[in-house]
Amino acid sequence: MPVDIPTVKKIASLARIAITEEEAARIAPELDNIMGWIEQLSEVDTTGVAPMTAVIPNHLRLRDDVVTDGAVRDAVLANAPQAEHGFFTVPKVIE
Amino acid sequence: MTELTNLGVAAIRDGVRDGSFSAREVAEAFVSNVAQAKTLNAFLVETPDHALAAADAADAARAAGETLKPLAGVPIGMKDLFCTRGVPATAGSLILEGFTPPYESTVSGKLWAAGAGMLGKLNMDQFAMGSSNETSAFGNVISPWRRNDGGNAALTPGGSSGGSSAAIAARLCPAATGTDTGGSIRQPAAFTGIAGIKPTYGRCSRWGVVAFASSLDQAGPMARDVRDCAIMLENMAGFDPKDATSLQLDVPQWEAGLSGDLKGKRIGIPKEYRVDNMPAEIDALWQQGIAWLKDAGAEIVEVSLPHTKYALPAYYIIAPAEASSNLARYDGVRYGLRDLPEGAGLQDMYAATRAAGFGPEVKRRIMIGTYVLSAGFYDAYFTQASKIRTLIARDFDRAWESCDLLLTPTAPSAAFALGDKSADPLAMYLNDVFTVPSSLAGLPAMSVPGGVDAGGLPLGLQIIGKALDEQGVLNAGLALEQRAGFTARAKAWW
């Protein structure tokens, strides 16, 4: 299925990446070329094959339900582009 | 006295321990080399104080008669994908501009606990997405190597760990950390005439390492020889409760276990790796590698990995899918860049920030990932790729019925010139054809220098092992190294 300009705009919107018309026009044939190459995977018969979920057998560990971290609010907020009164701040969200 | 910057990890460790020179002298020599090599653009941040402080601690420990730590007096480079406390980390991207981690990655923390010091943070492909170091937002790393044709074409040091490979080859550090998602340790090692090993998935903690594709990302060492890689890996690996995929196993003593005697070992030669258009020199080196391993006592067997040709396209679904999810965290709210256009709302701020902060290759991969995970396509792409990944892992399992290790070339060419492939993403992706299958299967794999091509550029040989058999991989690497006698090095022009 060809990746066209409307598709690129939709993907970019889903990925929250602003793109211009020119960028969409440039990216569409690139992605179309890559997806066309990837298309060869459809020729592999995978009937009855389980999708890989873990490359190395491992088991999920449980840990005691205790606090192991925290009380570092100011250190965390120090990296925020904008923080006030101990919170991350964002532009006003109008419903 | 031997120039200190020509020494590797083992020689520095032993020399400091024996008092042949002080750790301070070593650190100062490397700090000076780093400061003089800015043309290579290998370092994003230089941290001489860190290296010197670790050196002074090593010297003080020796003066006090204490037993020295395993990496006492060894200054190293740190790929900028690892968070180190108090030092800016960018992962090669503008979107992390201004981010200073208030914490230490498990791997870097282990290295400091072992006595190593940090010379600086190393340049890399943006978010480790690239095979030539041309996707860094902070400029290309230039390989110290040049072709012997008299031209001065700037060559790629490989990628994504290209700052690491260039720095080691140029004697700016004796060893460095790398990370490998689809070949990012092995390919740059091959391109610069050094050694590098990607251990079994789960050996090294991913905690504090900026995530690209979490089911594939693995840290590993890069250094000038196999022994130095073994020493580094021993001090990077180990169980970490903070990483859910970390393997709860003891770290073997890989250095003590080194042996180039391969008697009783069977080495598989996968016929599917004989790809079209493979340069004759790569094939010749592969044949030479086979002869070297035979000489070391190994038996050579031909094996088949029938799904090899599907590994790259499967990788280019799985890795971008995971990346699109992992990189959703860069939202301009909690750390890094924020682009807030006049009057913009929250959604516009996200989109503007990500448009301004991510480079073209990162955007490309996020968009591929978003596409293959989107409604209606998930099964056709992501589930199918995950099933093919199972088949690829099964291919290796079947090969292990008739062999213990595999020998292949590391990359399908020597280092290419910067700019040669950057306009064609697909041509760039194909560079990882020999390294991606073992990544998809989570297996340990290593590149060691085998020789040079007609242009005088290094070529690497790759050893792939069974899960957890880093020792077997290192030993075969050592057998190759002992016979290759690789001494070529880049002549200083920088």
The tens digit of pLDDT for each residue in B337-366 reads 999 999 999 999 999 999 999 999 999 999
The contacts of residue B401 (CB under 8 Å, 6+ apart) are none
> How far, in Å, CA of B107 to CA of B317, rounded?
28
> Which pLDDT tens digit goes with each residue over B57-72?
999 999 999 999 999 9
Q: Which residues, at least 6 apart from B264, have a Cβ–Cβ distance to it below 8 Å? A: B297
Domain boundaries, chain B: 4-260
Q: Is the pLDDT of residue A40 over 50?
A: yes
* 3-class DSSP assignment, residue B96: helix
First to last CA, chain A: 37
B160 catalytic, yes or no? yes
B446: left (phi over 0), alpha (psi -120 to 50) or beta: beta
Interface pTM (ipTM) of the complex?
A: 0.96
- The torsion angles phi and psi of B61, rounded to 5 degrees, stand at -65, -40
pLDDT in tens, B259-285: 999 999 999 999 999 988 889 999 999
Q: What is the CATH number of the domain that holds A32?
A: 1.10.20
DSSP lists the bridge partners of residue B447 as: B196, B462
CA distance A80 to chain B (A): 4
Residues B185-205, mean pLDDT to the nearest whole number: 98
In a domain, A69, yes or no: no
Which residue type occupies B29?
A
* Chain A residue with Cα closest to B315: A38
Sheet of B458-465: strand order equals B43-46, B117-122, B75-79, B175-180, B218-223, B195-198, B445-452, B458-465, B405-409, B266-270, B299-303
For residue B21, what are the CA distances in angstroms to B2, B7, B18, B51, B118? 10, 12, 8, 16, 19
Minimal-distance CA residue of chain A relative to B365: A31
Q: How many CA atoms lie within 13 A of B230 on its CB side?
A: 22
> Per the domain annotation, does A15 fall within a domain?
yes
**Residue A29's pLDDT is what?**
96
- For B357, the closest chain A residue by CA position comes to A17
Mean of the pLDDT values across residues B110-123? 98
Chain position carrying tokens 């923390």: B109
> For residue A95, what pLDDT band results from cuts at 50, 70 and 90?
low
**pLDDT-based confidence at residue B331 (cuts at 50, 70, 90):** very high
With respect to residue A13, please indicate whether it lies within any of the assigned structural domains. Answer: yes
- How many residues in chain B? 494
A 22-51 near B (Cβ less than 8 A): 27, 30-31, 33-35, 37-38, 40-42, 44, 46, 49-51
Q: Within chain B, what is the greatest distance between any pair of CA atoms?
A: 72
Kindly indicate whether the domain formed by B4-260 is annotated with CATH number 3.90.1300.10: yes
Q: Please tell me the predicted confidence (pLDDT) of residue B2.
A: 62
Q: pLDDT band for position B166 (50/70/90)?
A: very high
Q: Residue A58's pLDDT band (boundaries 50, 70, 90)? A: confident
Phi, psi of A67 (to 5 degrees): -75, 125
Q: Does pLDDT of B157 surpass 60? A: yes
Q: Side chain identity at B281, as an amino acid letter? A: E
| Residue indicated by tokens 């044709």 | B149
Q: What are phi and psi of B449, to 5 degrees?
A: -65, 135
Q: Can you read off the two tokens belonging to residue B219?
A: 């840290």
- pLDDT above 50 for B141: yes
* Mean pLDDT of the residues in chain B: 97
Q: Is residue A35 part of a domain?
A: yes
Nearest to A51 among B324, B351, B390 (CB): B390
Write down the catalytic residue from B132, B184, B205, B324. B184
B184 is catalytic: yes
Tell how many helices (H) and how many strands (E) occur in chain B.
Answer: 16, 11
Q: Token pair for residue B364?
A: 């490309």
- Percentage of chain B with pLDDT > 70? 100
pLDDT of residue B151: 85
What are the distances in angstroms from CA B7 to CA B69, B257, B431, B491?
A: 18, 22, 31, 17
Q: Looking at residues B15-37, what average pLDDT do you find?
A: 98
Q: Is B196 helix (H, G, I), strand (E, B) or coil?
A: strand
Q: What is the pLDDT of residues B378-412, one digit of tens each?
A: 999 999 999 999 999 999 999 999 999 999 999 99
| Mean per-residue pLDDT over chain A, rounded | 93
Structural domain containing residue A22 = 5-43
Among B334, B345, B388, the residue with its CB nearest the CB of A44 is B388
Sign of CA dihedral B287, B291, B296, B297: positive
Element (DSSP H or E) covering residue B168: helix B162-169
Q: Does residue B437 carry a pLDDT above 60? A: yes
Contact B102 A75 (CB under 8 A): yes
Of B328, B340, B384, the CB nearest to A46: B384
pLDDT of residue B150: 86
| Helical segments of B296-382, H only | 311-326, 346-357, 360-373, 378
- Tell me, yes or no, whether A36 lies in a domain: yes
Nearest Cβ partner for B332 among A11, A19, A81: A81
For chain A, what is the domain count?
A: 1
Among A7, A17, A42, A61, most B C-beta atoms within 10 A, so best to mutate, is A17
What confidence score (pLDDT) does residue B1 get?
Answer: 47
Structural domain includes residue A87: no
Which are the contacts of A35, defined by CB distance < 8 A and separation ≥ 6?
A1, A3, B368, B371
